[in-house]
Amino acid sequence: MGRGHGRQRCGRARRYRVVPGLVRPAILYRHSRSAWPGPVPFRTPHRDTERNMKPLTHFWRDTRGTAALELTLLAPLFISLLLGFFEVHQYLRTLSVVERTAFSIGDMVAQRSSLRDNDSPNDSGNIGVYWEAAAVSAEPLDMKANGMVVITVVNDAGGARPKTAWQRQAAGSQGWKSGAVSQLNAAQPLPPGFPFYAGDNTVVVEVMYTFTPFEALALFLPRDQLPSTELYRRVYFRPRFQNLDTLQK
């Protein structure tokens, strides 16, 4: 009884305990015989984090403008591939024209029985006819501005030893501007293993052309600063009627 009366006089003994699972263990709640009221509600840090992450999550899940972004990233790649294919086509086309021009001029010269050393295209016997024929055959390439044609005749120096009989190249007086020269070796004008016998005669035609890719860059850079590559083709023909050892005056 004394103990009970003591509790009534002094009031109920108050005991406190820590609610497990809460982030702040210093928050204490009164424990008594009455019903447990539950923890005092407050926002925990992980709930605040979720609330702050909602705008970022919404941003990552938003798909609006995806097509425009993909186009922005891939368009330069597609344009580069398109320009690359175009330039490869232009290069192969130019190489084909240079090769066709060399073959055509060599075939025409080999059908002549004689040639005159005259750059005028007014007479079919003049060597100048073939400079004009090369320019026409190479169209749409501007052969006179960016190319050169060289005709060489190789004859027998004795003992089936080839030597250069004469050589001419397109004249500047006819509008040819390139300074390219023959690439034949004067000491050995024919390649090793070429079938050349005593008394033989061979017509050698060389065609050179300066190919400039990405010519649209000429709008921004001087033409002499643009990258370029030299295309070269050489063909060999035997005269069909008689040797062309000399050029007539």
pLDDT digits (tens, 9 = 90+) for 204-229: 999 999 998 877 776 677 767 778 88
pTM of the model: 0.68
For residue range 160-191, list pLDDT tens digits in order: 899 999 999 998 888 898 889 999 998 889 99
Q: Is 67 part of any domain?
A: no
Q: Is 115 part of any domain?
A: yes
> What per-residue confidence (pLDDT) applies to 164?
93
β-strand 147-156 against 201-211: which pairing, if any? Answer: antiparallel
Q: Is 167 part of any domain?
A: yes
Radius of gyration over every alpha carbon of the chain, rounded to an integer in angstroms: 46
Structural domains counted in the chain: 1
123 pLDDT band, cuts 50/70/90, is: confident
Between residues 39 and 214, the one the model is more confident about = 214
**% of residues, the chain, pLDDT over 90:** 41
Domain that holds residue 233: 80-237
pLDDT higher than 50, residue 12: yes
Q: Is 202 part of any domain?
A: yes
pLDDT higher than 90, residue 53: no
Q: Is 229 part of any domain?
A: yes
The first and second tokens of residue 48, run together, are 């605040």
Helices (H), the chain: 2-10, 45-61, 66-110, 128-137, 143-146
